[in-house]
Amino acid sequence: MGSPRVQAWLAANAPDLRLIEVEQSTATVAEAAAALGVEPGRIAKSLAIRVGDLVFLLVTCGDARLDNQKCKHELGARPRMLGPEETLELTGHPVGGVCPFALATPLPVYLDRSLDGFDLVYPAGGTLKSSVEVSPQRLFDLVGTRWVDLYRLPEEAPGA
């Protein structure tokens, strides 16, 4: 069963979006891609990040990698992912099910430009077996604070 908080949030704020429930785990990018039958890049992974005193949720393309240089340039410091306990406390969602909907604590939600290449992406739905299908622009319109460029795609990796 999906997160009741996320179900209620979607019903109130985006009734046209549906919570997709699957039998298999969607806790990792690879598991979610396999369970949903999509390429890993379409999985919109949500990470709780701290940069200095700023804590925010970062939503990015599933196969992208955080670029510390881009973070320092755009945010002024190196990023640090929060641990599982702090992530659960701040978001209300377990690691592997973290999504930008129905957050326990109001957090800025940054969407990475790595999502731009897709018409539809799949953020988690608040549990380890749920997702939501949404366009990147609609996701931004619903929960986004700002667009950022903090990740590099696999083809942009050094030596690629």
Q: What are the structural domain ranges in the chain?
A: 4-154
**Successive 10-residue mean pLDDT values, the chain, 160 residues:** 86 94 94 96 95 94 89 89 95 95 96 94 96 97 96 65
Q: CA 77 to CA 29: how far, in whole Å?
A: 26
The predicted pLDDT at position 18 comes to 86
Contact 67, 151 (CB under 8 A): yes
The predicted pLDDT at position 78 comes to 87
Contact 91, 6 (CB under 8 A): no
The predicted pLDDT at position 66 comes to 86
| pTM confidence score | 0.91
The predicted pLDDT at position 160 comes to 46
Contact 125, 2 (CB under 8 A): yes
Q: Cβ neighbours of residue 84 under 8 Å, at least 6 residues apart?
A: 94, 95
Q: Given 3.90.960.10, 1.10.760.10, 1.10.260.40, 3.40.50.720, which CATH number is that of 4-154?
A: 3.90.960.10
Contact 79, 150 (CB under 8 A): yes
Torsion, CA 111, CA 114, CA 120, CA 122, rounded to 10: -60
